[in-house]
Structure 1
Amino acid sequence: MRKRKWLYGMAAGAMLAGLLAGCGGNNNNGASSASPSPSSSPSESAPASAPASEPAKNVHLRLYTFGPELTYNWSQTLKAYEDANPGVKVEAVVLSDKGDTQEAMKKLDLAFASKEEIDVLMFSDPAGYAQRVSLGMAEPLDDFIAQDGGYKVAEEYKVDTTLNGKVYALPGKFNPWYVMLNKDHLDEAGLAVPTDWTWEEYADYAKRLTQGEGNTKRYGTYFHGPQGGGWMEFLKLKMMNQPTNSDFLKADGSSNLDDPNFKATLELRMKMEKEDQSSVPYTDIISQKLAYRNQFFNQSASMLTIGSWMNTEIGGTETLPLTFHVAVAPFPKNNAGDPVGYAPVTTDYTAVSSISKNKEEAYKFVRWYTTEGQLVQAKNVPSWSKVSNDQLTPIIDSILAGTTSPELVDKDSLIQTLLVSKASEMIPAASYQAEVYRAVNEEYEKLILGQQDVDATVKNSQERTQQIIEANKK
């Protein structure tokens, strides 16, 4: 209860500050409710069960989401649920028409602090999810899951949303990182589309794909980070393909920079940029403010390691048309004997609001939405592990149909990569995580700019991280 009172005060203060700055507003600004439209039938395979109970009567659920109608197809999705559950009305309160998650989370915090009638919450990233769980915004789902057959989230879904031994949300979409490949360049070099490969093999591919010199040079790969404490995935390349301990900090908030895979990632980046000269120089990325989409679609780089949010653009767009054949490969492994598929993953954390007056009905909707509802929505690849190849294909077809040249995409390689991909154990974000990211980023810049070697970079990163941890204990 103290956490909620603190949150109310925090949000009220934020609202006042926003008003004084002239940029605040009513928390309903930009929100909208989905309206009914024709829907498709839910999948007939392996339906997700719900706790047995009498049919609901006149239940109105309010779903607070950052996802706009265009990319989440709420009209069709919610109507399908309402048709299958007479007496239940689900209203989508869209907190950002342009899908701006930061704007949406600010409005969500204010709405919660104002005690609006919120039944279902959606969070866009693990840090935001963990933070709001700690503030008491999400209801634990363990009792509902126990009544619902006692399924294991780690088995039922490709993303395990367990936090501190409890489940507070179920995952919706499944966006693993993968490698986009210029297949024409691969064919020219006599290279096959990888289905299971290591970072050593990735580096070899990049070296063999690199051509030319100067302004017309074509690089084998492009790494879009780190930048200003962001895009830190590119300094964890050999950490994020592990089932556990995939970040700079451990679950208890202690440092994980003694993991040899952190040093190995630094060595990989140095080898590819300085020795092989197969990756776009860091100085060019920063000074020229390069964009990863342009680097790949303009064929300045043959490979791009990035998140599968690119599914909606992989076939080209009006701004960046696709003029070559593109294929997809899984996130590389460290060793040949490692399991294939572990990668950084983004998802929608769909939770029951702790202040909902309809918690059981809200859970039923969350369970449906993260299983059969994903197939009805047909806008994203589902996290639900029971989705088969046959079910995934029409979803991918629908996504690719929204691009300008879907025929140039190797759909089979895309589907197979998505099917084998899986998320590592989720690590709750520490309150000082951003400070650690900035510190490690700064030490990496000293390395890549020739001001210190790898060992000094590891040592300095460890020391600065420990100082940040100690400072935040006070």
Structure 2
Amino acid sequence: MRKKWLHGMAAGIMLVGLLAGCGGNNNGENAAASSSPSPSPNASSSAPAESAAPAKDVHLRLYTFGPEATYNWSQTLKAYEEANPGVTVEALVLSDKGDTQEAMKKLDLAFASKEDIDILMFSDPAGYAQRVSLGMTEPLDDYIAKDGGYKVVDEYKVDTTLNGKVYALPGKFNPWYVLLNKDHLDEAGLAVPTDWTWDEYAEYAKQLTKGEGTSKRYGTYFHGPQGGGWMEFLKLGMLNQPTNSDFLKADGSSNLSDPNFKKTLELRVKMEKEDKSSVPYSDIISQKLAYRNQFFNQSASMLTIGSWMNTEIGGTDKLPLTFHVAVAPFPKNNKEDTIGYAPVTTDYTAVSSISKQKEEAYKFVRWYTTEGQLIQGKNVPSWSKVTNDQLNPIIDTILAGTMNPELVDKDSLIKTLLMSKASEMLPGASYQGEVYKAINEEYEKLILGQQDVDAMVKNSQDRTQQIIEANKK
């Protein structure tokens, strides 16, 4: 059993090194304003009620990747402690720069060393699912039953259910969207999209591309894949559907026969090789390009990225905003499809399976993912009880922390966030990182002209199946 545990933990640590869906970039370099909106009476009444008897000498330890600058822990935890006399919550920040990969490695080691961990935070669904499979999280279903028996799918915009059980509650709600240089759109006579397809996205990129050589302005920039990470950019046509949005299915079998996988590859090749409207992959890798620089320096007119960029969308001291920015929803495949499905990042906030204070830890997790999100005031909450009226001051607070919020089309941002929704979460397989790396390698052969799309699909399918078979032994 000990050998099996160590093998599983090693696999988990390896997986974190390979996954970069959020990476160290998700939290941004700049904090939003420290002031935050107060929860409305209506919102507060939907949160779990405080127990009549105050807890005595409870000290909870929260292990998190989120630094103070972007998570406002001092104000957030103080509010909880004031509402719950006798309880103190200590935030142990595992990466000062908010690097989720670094933080997860430290978390895995801390858990293996059986440190006093009460609350855990994960930043991506694969990392969350992997650690559930390693037994690091406590099932919350019994606590939820005692807490009124609410349904996660009703209470939150992200369903954290895995294999029929709930192991975490979601904090922030960061769907992917498209950032647009509105000045470039106006110049080309293009409207800000509110409902569009990937074909229309490609047409926009083509019309926005301008110039040649080193001064060329590209219509769009795709930041991945890279080294088995940022694999969202090879799943563009899979991520905007309610189910089967990953390379693997829920049972761990291959999903590469999904026609939207091939369509994504065809889109990437067309835009780079034929339209020449997206930044070349070879430049991204050889020059180690950064997506923030590409957009804010106006080297690319559109950027498909996660809404963790809300805290930077109005510009920062390092990358000031000198043009007008608008936001569009993640494109869909066909006109008749439902708009709004997109990759979503959240904070999977869980109770540690080795905590000696699980009841108190659950109580904090529930509060943090409801009222606590409003007090924290740094992100759009996953809590579905947040009203449209409450979203406005949250966005105002976030944008106030940027250099030029007046250049941001707030209306398009809010409309996009309100229509966004997460697809079904799939449990991550222990070999998922190996699959990502193999597909990334096959994509490099494709985009560098060493094989065509059909060959890439077949080779990716074959290698993925080999990995699956090898992990059955």
* TM-score normalized with structure 1 length: 0.90
Structure 1 stretch displaced more, 235-244 or 110-119? 110-119
What amino acid maps onto 2:131 in structure 1?
A: R
- SS of the aligned residue for 2:42 comes to coil
Say yes or no: does 1:147 pair with 2:163. Answer: no
- What's 2:39 paired with? 42
- What's 1:123 paired with? 122
- SS of the aligned residue for 2:43 comes to coil
- What's 2:432 paired with? 433
Per-residue deviation, residues 292-322 of structure 1 (Å, max 9, x unmatched): 1111111111101011111111111122111
- What's 1:82 paired with? 81
Per-residue deviation, residues 238-278 of structure 1 (Å, max 9, x unmatched): 00111111111111111000000001101111121122221
| Structure with greater Cα Rg | 1
Q: 1:297 to 1:172 in 2, by over 3 A?
A: same
Q: 1:370 to 1:441 in 2, by over 3 A?
A: same
Structure 1: tracts of 5 or more residues without a match = 15-36
- SS of the aligned residue for 1:108 comes to helix
What amino acid maps onto 2:112 in structure 1?
A: A
Structure 1 stretch displaced more, 42-51 or 452-461? 42-51
Q: Say whether the 8 Å CA contact 2:38–2:374 is kept in structure 1.
A: no
Q: 1:426 to 1:38 in 2, by over 3 A?
A: closer
Q: Find the partner of 2:55 among 54, 57, 64.
A: 57
What amino acid maps onto 1:136 in structure 2?
A: G
- What's 2:173 paired with? 174
1:406-425 matched pairs, under 5 angstroms: 406-425=405-424
Please give the alpha-carbon distance, in whole angstroms, between the structure 2 residues aligned to 1:96 and 1:70: 12
1:227-376 matched pairs, under 5 angstroms: 227-376=226-375
- What's 1:392 paired with? 391
- What's 1:22 paired with? none
Q: 1:393 to 1:214 in 2, by over 3 A?
A: same
Structure 1 stretch displaced more, 406-415 or 384-393? 384-393
Q: Say whether the 8 Å CA contact 2:175–2:342 is kept in structure 1.
A: yes
Q: 1:438 to 1:151 in 2, by over 3 A?
A: same
Q: Say whether the 8 Å CA contact 1:121–1:350 is kept in structure 2.
A: yes
- What's 1:26 paired with? none
Please give the alpha-carbon distance, in whole angstroms, between the structure 1 residues aligned to 2:308 and 2:449: 34
Please give the alpha-carbon distance, in whole angstroms, between the structure 1 residues aligned to 2:7 and 2:324: 52
Select the structure with the greater relative contact order (CA < 8 A; seq sep ≥ 6): 2
Q: Say whether the 8 Å CA contact 1:4–1:136 is kept in structure 2.
A: no
Please give the alpha-carbon distance, in whole angstroms, between the structure 2 residues aligned to 1:155 and 1:42: 19
Structure 1 stretch displaced more, 396-405 or 323-332? 396-405
Please give the alpha-carbon distance, in whole angstroms, between the structure 2 residues aligned to 1:160 and 1:412: 27
Q: Say whether the 8 Å CA contact 1:8–1:113 is kept in structure 2.
A: no
How many Å apart are 1:429 and its aligned residue?
A: 1.8
Q: 1:4 to 1:67 in 2, by over 3 A?
A: farther
Please give the alpha-carbon distance, in whole angstroms, between the structure 1 residues aligned to 2:423 and 2:2: 29
Please give the alpha-carbon distance, in whole angstroms, between the structure 1 residues aligned to 2:190 and 2:255: 36
What amino acid maps onto 1:277 in structure 2?
A: K
How many Å apart are 1:393 and its aligned residue?
A: 1.6
- What's 2:20 paired with? none
- SS of the aligned residue for 2:101 comes to helix
Structure 2: tracts of 5 or more residues without a match = 14-33
Q: Say whether the 8 Å CA contact 1:39–1:79 is kept in structure 2.
A: no
- What's 2:18 paired with? none
How many Å apart are 1:40 and its aligned residue?
A: 6.9
Please give the alpha-carbon distance, in whole angstroms, between the structure 1 residues aligned to 2:298 and 2:215: 10
Please give the alpha-carbon distance, in whole angstroms, between the structure 1 residues aligned to 2:253 and 2:207: 40
- SS of the aligned residue for 2:395 comes to helix
What amino acid maps onto 1:304 in structure 2?
A: L
- SS of the aligned residue for 1:45 comes to helix
Please give the alpha-carbon distance, in whole angstroms, between the structure 1 residues aligned to 2:54 and 2:187: 61
Q: Say whether the 8 Å CA contact 1:39–1:77 is kept in structure 2.
A: no
What amino acid maps onto 2:144 in structure 1?
A: I
Q: 1:172 to 1:89 in 2, by over 3 A?
A: same
- SS of the aligned residue for 2:41 comes to coil
RMSD, aligned α-carbons: 2.2
What amino acid maps onto 2:381 in structure 1?
A: P
How many Å apart are 1:4 and its aligned residue?
A: 11
Q: How many residues align?
A: 449
Please give the alpha-carbon distance, in whole angstroms, between the structure 2 residues aligned to 1:70 and 1:420: 28
Q: Say whether the 8 Å CA contact 1:42–1:80 is kept in structure 2.
A: no
How many Å apart are 1:382 and its aligned residue?
A: 0.8
What amino acid maps onto 1:365 in structure 2?
A: F
Q: Say whether the 8 Å CA contact 2:35–2:397 is kept in structure 1.
A: no
Please give the alpha-carbon distance, in whole angstroms, between the structure 2 residues aligned to 1:223 and 1:103: 24
